[in-house]
Amino acid sequence: MISWAEVAIPRISATHAFSPLRLKSTATNTLVELPVDRDIRMYVCGITPYDSTHLGHAATYIAFDLVNRYIRSSGQKMHFVENITDIDDPLLVRAKRDNVSWQSLATSQIELFRGDMTDLHVIPPQNFIGAVESIPLVVDAVAVMKERGAVYELEDDLYFRVNSDEKFGTRSHLTKENMIGIARERGGDPDRSGKEDPLDALLWMQQKPDEPGWPSPYGTGRPGWHIECCAIALHYLPNSKEDAYCVDIQGGGNDLQFPHHEIGASQARILGGKDFARIYMHAGMIGLDGEKMSKSKGNLVLVSTLVSQGTDPMAIRLALLTGHYSHDRMWDSQLLSDAQTLLVRLRSCLSREEVATTSSVVATIIALLANDLDTPGVIEKLKQWCEETEAGAIGGSAGELSRALDALLGIAF
């Protein structure tokens, strides 16, 4: 699948030292330091393309864009893979409701997503992979898992035995009862009769009437959700026997922590023979005016709508950076207005011939980002710099700070 256009990253002066990036892993609830002596591998779960990109999506992908930018600005190489779930039940349901083909719906929404990511200045993944194109990888992965005793058949469907991984459940810290309840809400089928364990995950489902299917040794059908990401990550991200983990970062919204990331990690342990991710990084949800933002409530704020109304995408990005990526938080008109005001203020200060000192500001920004992407601290530092510049302080380089904000925060001036 074609990604979106590459984004240029300005170079930051070599005089600035980068500390190792520390990110909170929800699996351990601790800050985990990324290695600095080799390339970094990041897998981020993408959208199911049945609706336009809303601010929750934007916040998630901006968070992982910050990781990408920090790693690349520090001089390390980033291997970044993102999927698109371009075949799944919600997509089929929406296509039927709207009386369109699932293929045309997916294609149109993926194109909108590409445009939104371009507007938001998000660096594209090297590999942007659809679930449909990865079906051969899934078929091969299921074959390996069958050989290792992790698969059983139920009415021609194939299921993954979660208890085949002794570490199942250790990454999400939930009771069995809570897992079953969440699985029921998030696309699982814990109540299906005949399953060995209510949490066992569908690997391959037989084709249903009026639904698409693909030929496989297991019959014509389609993959389950979790195995798609697992197969894509293990195939496209580099791995070696010396690596303690299959990938360095598994990312997505915090609604994916269970069951998607928990089950995917267990499947990867069966396939890869070691722990899947060094860090499980999850972005918080975005609400609107005190309520959860959701399709069912009809209160989604779409990136494309804001942009079509004349909102500067950089103001959207800046507004989302005012909160910490890992926190659930609210969006409202005041947040956007404040971000627009700050953006205008920054542009005004950066257009001056004389500005307050910038070298120490850039160093502080790097240090704040190194500590679990502390963007609220960065925003406060920028406000302080604006105050000093407006008060007549001199000795800095507007170009130095402008390049750093573009490279590290993705805010282009």
Give the model confidence (pLDDT) of 176-197 as tens digits: 999 999 999 998 999 999 999 9
pLDDT of residue 241: 82
pLDDT of residue 355: 98
pLDDT of residue 226: 97
Choice between 216 and 298, residue whose per-residue pLDDT is larger: 216
Each residue's pLDDT tens digit, 148-168: 999 999 999 999 999 999 999
The answer to whether residue 175 scores a pLDDT higher than 80 is yes
Beta bridge partners of 31: 24
Q: What is the 3-state secondary structure (H, E, C) of the chain?
A: CCCCCCCCCCCCCCCCCCCCCEEEECCCCEEEECCCCCCEEEEECCCCCCCCCEHHHHHHHHHHHHHHHHHHHCCCCEEEEEEECCCCHHHHHHHHHHCCCHHHHHHHHHHHHHHHHHHCCCCCCCEEEECCCCHHHHHHHHHHHHHCCCEEEECCEEEECHHHCCCCCCCCCCCHHHHHHHHHHCCCCCCCCCCCCCCCEEEEEECCCCCCCECCCCCCEEECHHHHHHHHHHHHCCCCCCCCCCEEEEEEEHHHHHHHHHHHHHHHHHHHCCCCEEEEEEECCEEECCEECCCCCCCCCEHHHHHHCCCCHHHHHHHHHCCCCCCCEEECHHHHHHHHHHHHHHHHHHCCCCCECCHHHHHHHHHHHHECCCHHHHHHHHHHHHHHHHCCCCECCHHHHHHHHHHHHCCCC
What's the pLDDT band for 244 if we cut at 50, 70, 90? very high
Each residue's pLDDT tens digit, 278-288: 999 999 999 99
pLDDT of residue 257: 97
What's the pLDDT band for 270 if we cut at 50, 70, 90? very high
CB neighbourhood size of 327 (10 A)? 11
Arithmetic mean of pLDDT over the chain: 97
Q: Calculate mean pLDDT across residues 246-260.
A: 98
What's the pLDDT band for 131 if we cut at 50, 70, 90? very high
pLDDT of residue 292: 79
Distance CA 226, CA 317 (A): 30
N residues, the chain: 413
Does residue 3 contact residue 125 with C-beta atoms inside 8 Å?
yes
Closest among 104, 101, 98, 33 to 70, alpha carbons compared: 33
Share of the chain above pLDDT 90, in %: 94
pLDDT of residue 293: 81
Using CA atoms, how far residue 406 sits from 9, 13, 62, 78, 399, in Å, is: 7, 13, 13, 18, 11
Distance CA 271, CA 262 (A): 15
- Is beta strand 157-160 parallel, antiparallel or unpaired with respect to 201-206? antiparallel
The answer to whether residue 298 scores a pLDDT higher than 90 is no
Closest among 291, 281, 348, 295 to 32, alpha carbons compared: 281
Does residue 105 contact residue 150 with C-beta atoms inside 8 Å?
no
| Tokens 């999850």 -> residue | 282
- Is beta strand 277-283 parallel, antiparallel or unpaired with respect to 247-253? parallel
pLDDT of residue 302: 95
The answer to whether residue 296 scores a pLDDT higher than 80 is no
Residues with Cβ within 8 Å of 387's Cβ and at least 6 positions away in sequence, in order, are none
The answer to whether residue 406 scores a pLDDT higher than 80 is yes
Each residue's pLDDT tens digit, 2-41: 999 999 999 999 899 999 999 999 999 999 999 999 999 9
Distance CA 410, CA 92 (A): 35
Distance CA 265, CA 274 (A): 10
Each residue's pLDDT tens digit, 57-97: 999 999 999 999 999 999 999 999 999 999 999 999 999 99
The answer to whether residue 294 scores a pLDDT higher than 80 is no
Distance CA 77, CA 69 (A): 10
Does residue 250 contact residue 43 with C-beta atoms inside 8 Å?
yes
Each residue's pLDDT tens digit, 341-396: 999 999 999 999 999 999 999 999 999 999 999 999 999 999 999 999 999 999 99
Distance CA 73, CA 41 (A): 15
Does residue 169 contact residue 201 with C-beta atoms inside 8 Å?
no
pLDDT of residue 203: 98
pLDDT of residue 51: 87
Does residue 293 contact residue 325 with C-beta atoms inside 8 Å?
no
Distance CA 248, CA 10 (A): 25
Q: Which CATH architecture has domain 29-301?
A: 3-Layer(aba) Sandwich (3.40)
Beta bridge partners of 22: 33, 371
pLDDT of residue 289: 85
Each residue's pLDDT tens digit, 194-242: 999 999 999 999 999 999 999 999 999 999 999 999 999 999 999 988 8
User: Which tokens sit at 6?
Assistant: 């590459």
Distance CA 180, CA 345 (A): 50
pLDDT of residue 286: 95
pLDDT of residue 224: 95
